[in-house]
Amino acid sequence: MFDNPSFDNHEGVHFFSDEKSGLRAIIAIHSTTLGPSSGGTRMWDYANSADMVTDALRLSQGMSYKNAMASIPHGGGKAVIWGNSKTDKSEALFRAFGRAVESLQGKYWTAEDVGIDTADIEIAAQETGYAAGLTTGKAASGDPSPITALGVFKGIKQTALRAFGTDDLNGKTVAVQGVGSVGGYTCEHLAEAGANLVITDIDQEALDDISKRTGAKIVAPDDIYDVDADIFSPNALGAILNADTLKRLKVKVVAGGANNQLKTPDMGEKVREAGILYAPDYVINGGGIINVAAEISGSYSRDWVDQKLDTLIGTLGTVLDDAIASGKPTNEVADEIARARIQAAKV
């Protein structure tokens, strides 16, 4: 693990196994400099354990930067569960996961992410006091996906403003990859703004539902990169901006809710060279963790969430403007700001 290219002086990487329930999980804590770490739990059927470790390392580092950019008092952490989210879920598994979270004694707060829904977190919360995104409780905030999607939509408008000279999306074609919780809500916002949608997903039922509600055109998963569009919005898994996909994109903007969209950091420069303006993922998709932070505080306020979200989108604008002015890739500009904020907290 220490030789893994994604290892970034993580404070702790914790492995959990429960034979009875079949739980295989990793909770990676990247940093607690700004406060207890927080980040969602992902359930995915990884090809091997090395891929699982890499995902946990990258996602937890991303959460440190995301929380710093969102100006919330949390460090970065992430949990991953190895399994098929369609077939391997059970009450016993999520109870075992809840006990794993509890064993860290508040160093990590969990919530929903890919493959995990509110019902799963509710089960885990029966075993730990460090779960959020709940539907019950004094400060319950529920599924954070709608707030994430709202931030993604606002971020798309911010990026479009700089790429096209207007944030009016009426008539713009947006290719959306992934129409699950975040992607689906994002499609609704885009359709209401008058955008023409081309969508893809591995879930045909979700595709049919979004298409019926928004008039979106459906394409095969691999064809989404070849769509003649203005904006590409990735809202599924990471590493989708790579040497193979970049040469196929015909867009001027990449802005979406997926984590770790760049396969490697140097892809940010290649995206810039291709004339594409990229909204750094951990900035544009920070709405959900803001919502979760409000719940963790013990006194949920939607007004506070909306204010924080607007500030975050303003920060995204600053990143884009600084990148354009300096000629640097946007991911490097965002990383510099996030690291500076974390470092300042160490003094």
152 closest CA partner among 286, 329, 311: 286
Q: Which residues, in sequence order, are CB contacts of 102 under 8 Å at separation 6+? A: 127, 128, 129, 130
Amino acid at position 299, single letter? S
DSSP 8-state class, residue 131: B
Range list of H helices, 249-298: 267-273, 281-284, 287-296
Secondary structure of residue 171 in the 3-state scheme: coil
106 closest CA partner among 142, 132, 138: 132
Catalytic residues: 78
Pairwise CA distance, residues 125 & 168, whole Å: 42
Question: Where do we find the tokens 């023409």?
Answer: 196
In DSSP notation, 156-209 reads HHHHHHHHHS----TT-EEEEE--SHHHHHHHHHHHHTT-EEEEE-S-HHHHHH
9's tokens = 């002086």
Pairwise CA distance, residues 188 & 168, whole Å: 16
- The neighbouring-strand residues paired with 26 are 15, 80
CA 146 vs CA 23, 75, 182, 230: distances in Å: 29, 22, 7, 24
Pairwise CA distance, residues 292 & 308, whole Å: 12
Run of H or E residues at 29? strand 23-31
Question: Where do we find the tokens 């992410």?
Answer: 113
Secondary structure of residue 35 in the 3-state scheme: coil
Question: Where do we find the tokens 């459906």?
Answer: 218
Q: Taking CA 257 as the corner, what is the angle to CA 71 and CA 158, rounded to the nearest 5 degrees?
A: 70
